[in-house]
Amino acid sequence: MPTGTKYSLYLTPAPFQAPHFDRLQESSSDWKKKADALWERHRDAQIRVFDSWVKLGVDERIPEAKRPRGPGRKGRNVEPDARYEWAARRLKGDAWKEIAFVAGRPQDRVRKAAIAVLRIAGWEE
């Protein structure tokens, strides 16, 4: 079965430089507190840069994927990537029966999962 193309946009944040550790002047727990505080400031500044694209109208907000808690007791939950693949195949024109057969899952479960993805994307069936 051919795999679908996955799109990504990797952004490399500015490098983070941890503060120097002076073994003669500070304890490791003091350094850890200082490093954690600097990291949080650096991380939050990078997130503001990434989010600024949305605020400036250059990009649109991407909703977080709904993630299953796990396979469940009966192993019915499906990874988001499989749900996206099913939704894409449906958009391509494949029948639910065919998508379910290839996935090895019951048709009603494949349909329900893929339709949820299509609704989130704004492509209601």
What's the average model confidence in pLDDT over 94-123?
90
CB atoms within 10 A of CB 85: 21
pLDDT band at 76 (very low <50, low <70, confident <90, very high): low
Identify the pLDDT of residue 125.
62
Q: Which residues contact 94 (CB under 8 A, 6 or more apart)?
A: none
Residue-wise pLDDT for 3-52, tens only, equals 566 777 788 889 999 999 999 999 999 999 999 999 999 999 999 988 89
- d(CA 124, CA 42) in angstroms, rounded, equals 40
pLDDT band at 68 (very low <50, low <70, confident <90, very high): low
Q: Is residue 54 within 8 Å of 60, Cβ to Cβ?
A: yes
Average predicted confidence (pLDDT) for the chain: 86
- Domain spans of the chain, in order of start: 14-62, 65-125
- Provide the percentage of residues in the chain whose pLDDT is more than 90: 50
Q: Is residue 96 within 8 Å of 111, Cβ to Cβ?
A: yes
pTM of the predicted protein model = 0.46
Residue-wise pLDDT for 79-90, tens only, equals 878 889 999 999
